[in-house]
Structure 1
Amino acid sequence: MSMRNYTSVTEFILLGIPNTEGLENMIFVLFLTFCTFSLLGNLLIFLTILASSNLHTPMYFFLGNLSMFDILFPSVNSPKMMVFLMGQSSTISYQGCASQVFFYHTLGGTECFLYTVMAYDRFVAICHPMRYTVIMNPRVCTSLAVGTWVGGCLHGSVLTFLIFRLPYCGPNKVHSFFCDIPVVLSLACADTSLAQTVSFTNVGVVALLCFLLILISYTRIVLSILKIRSSEGRRRAFSTCSAHLTSILLAYGPVILVYLKPASNLWLDAAVQVLNNVITPSLNPLIYSLRNKDVKLALRKVLVQVTHSFGV
């Protein structure tokens, strides 16, 4: 039997962010500002890496992938939320809800895998500098990057199948501004214990495994940095890793708060999801450009070239 035959619900109603009545215009401006900044900032970083031959290294190759992720991630849920804030329809089709769950967790899984690969890249660069170009050759880098996106797609597919194989035949009000596992599962007309266990285990295992691999990489990195005799060398090594660590904290914080906390708080969940969906992707361009001299120099060159090309 097809998935459509399991449910009589054809659409869901998104209730938005709790306790924000009368603040729709302000929240709309907030969403629009951060989404625009995220799109333009990450697109600029991505194009700068493409246009600058000195940035054609493994580190910046993976940073380019992260910029592409940060361009795509806000576009999964923010457009529908902004339509809702403009006073338009707050409904989302059954298929649209399933699409949000799929793309949200596909990109979320990709992000976890990508941060893990970036940590491994820094580990090889700092702990095995003489073999860095041999280990992180173009073929390996391409395979790792493709693997992050394929792994994310598999992760999202499993979760979407688990959630939407259940029947939805009664309530259809989603207590959030987008469709995600906890709020959608609460509307199912069947026992959700298996789906909850498997889906939360899936999310938890992926996040925990990636976090442990990142922790191992950075433990080795810190031990290697402490062995550097030059204070300038230690400072440069720590500076190289600080931007990545900041991004990891911003990425993992919301995941822990939403999926691993024992009790549900609708307002806190919404606030954390806004941070994760809208604000964090817009901060990564600042984090990486302000902390990296090579990126700042390349950005200036690209901006000068663009300015000259338009005759400004």
Structure 2
Amino acid sequence: MLDGNLTEVTEFVLRGFTDSPQLRAFLFTLLLLIYTAGLVGNLTIITLTRVDSRLQTPMYFFLCNLALIDITYSSAIAPKTLTNLLAKKKVISRPGCAAQFFLHSFSINAEVVLLAVMAYDRFVSVCNPLRYALLVSRQQCCRLVCVSYLCGCINSVAHTASLFSLSFCRSRVIDHFFCDIPALQQLSCSDTRFAHGLHVALAAAAGSGTVGAVLISYLCIIFAVLQIRAAQDRWKAFSTCASHLSAVTLFYGTLFFIYLRPSSSADQCKAAAVFYTLVIPAVNPLIYSLRNREVKDALMRVILKAFVDR
């Protein structure tokens, strides 16, 4: 432990979920299955979009990058969480904590921007199909994805620098299963008002900007679809947006539950955090594959080709 209240913390203890050995074994098995399913699903999406020429379109290019972000997202959290469920000493060094938080923050910020980019792609596809190839060209897609990663990196650097410039000397026990802002700020003996204000401002800017872009895109889509006379064509236009809208609702809904609720217990925060760090990355491939005939057909073609080659 610490030598005194004024001693700077060089490593933290992640309290995790529970001290019960039986419950920890159950959680380890459950989270390992979820993490493995997420890895397999997202790697499958990436592989299909790379090897199948029919999926090399802007929508699937964005989906491939979303899968890559989800892998980064879950892999920043899951390995250490699974290790700590079996370990007696649940420690993480301060640099390790900073690295974990950086990847976590980068993935969140990159994903919210990418989801807004995907909403723009659906907007152009439905509302301006004749100019789709021009407005969403390969070069434009690469620029938009680069903007997503750049925004994620800038926000993550700012969040990480402000958080880990604080002094931690009150305790080294983080009441969470990974390094997150609220849990770390509670341990600081520095004045956290500036860091907290910066976190809120950056989150508000990223959240309001991307949510606004998604809402405007879908309002335009709804108005355009309602003007379509044929019911079959109207349903087809809506179905192209269903997967993305489901992913957006899950992701933003969970983040709002965690960070915008006036008060939440530690257990509620941990449960919600498990959902958006591990469950959503595992569910996204199912959302995009089960609702998408092109992905299912591509998977069948790859499987059949593998059997034929064998």
Q: 1-side partners of 2:62 and 2:56: how far apart? A: 10
> Would the aligned equivalents of 1:19 and 1:267 in 2 still touch at CA under 8 Å?
no
Matched with 2:195 is 195
Alignment of 1:172-183 (within 5 A): 172-183=172-183
Residue type of the partner of 2:243? A
Q: 2-side partners of 1:293 and 1:144: how far apart? A: 26
SS in 1 for 2:243: helix
Q: Deviations over 1:208-232 (max 9, x none)?
A: 2101110000000011011111111
Shift of the alpha carbon at 1:188? 0.6
Change (3 A) 1:105 1:224: same
Alignment of 1:98-247 (within 5 A): 98-247=98-247
> Would the aligned equivalents of 2:290 and 2:296 in 1 still touch at CA under 8 Å?
yes
Aligned length: 305
> Would the aligned equivalents of 2:228 and 2:234 in 1 still touch at CA under 8 Å?
yes
Q: 2-side partners of 1:121 and 1:182: how far apart? A: 34
Q: 1-side partners of 2:86 and 2:60: how far apart? A: 38
Shift of the alpha carbon at 1:88? 4.2
Shift of the alpha carbon at 1:19? 7.8
Matched with 1:16 is 16
Change (3 A) 1:20 1:130: farther
Q: Deviations over 1:83-133 (max 9, x none)?
A: 111134300000011111111010100000000000000000100000000
Residue type of the partner of 1:259? Y
Q: 2-side partners of 1:7 and 1:285: how far apart? A: 46
SS in 2 for 1:92: strand
Q: 2-side partners of 1:172 and 1:49: how far apart? A: 44
Shift of the alpha carbon at 1:21? 6.2
Alignment of 1:213-292 (within 5 A): 213-292=213-292
Shift of the alpha carbon at 1:185? 0.8
**Structure 1 unaligned spans of 5+:** 1-5
> Would the aligned equivalents of 1:59 and 1:121 in 2 still touch at CA under 8 Å?
yes
Change (3 A) 1:168 1:282: same
1:89 aligns with 2:96: no
Change (3 A) 1:88 1:301: farther
Shift of the alpha carbon at 1:20? 6.2
TM-score (norm 2): 0.95
> Would the aligned equivalents of 2:10 and 2:94 in 1 still touch at CA under 8 Å?
yes
Matched with 1:35 is 35
SS in 2 for 1:31: helix
Change (3 A) 1:264 1:63: same
Q: 1-side partners of 2:229 and 2:22: how far apart? A: 59
TM-score (norm 1): 0.95
> Would the aligned equivalents of 1:116 and 1:211 in 2 still touch at CA under 8 Å?
yes
Q: Deviations over 1:58-105 (max 9, x none)?
A: 111101111111211110011111011113430000001111111101
> Would the aligned equivalents of 1:43 and 1:67 in 2 still touch at CA under 8 Å?
yes
> Would the aligned equivalents of 1:24 and 1:86 in 2 still touch at CA under 8 Å?
yes
Residue type of the partner of 1:87? A
> Would the aligned equivalents of 1:66 and 1:111 in 2 still touch at CA under 8 Å?
yes
Shift of the alpha carbon at 1:18? 5.3
> Would the aligned equivalents of 2:45 and 2:64 in 1 still touch at CA under 8 Å?
yes
Q: 2-side partners of 1:20 and 1:276: how far apart? A: 24
Q: What do you get for the CA RMSD once the two structures are aligned?
A: 1.4
Identity of aligned residues (%): 37
Q: 2-side partners of 1:85 and 1:167: how far apart? A: 28
Residue type of the partner of 2:83? V
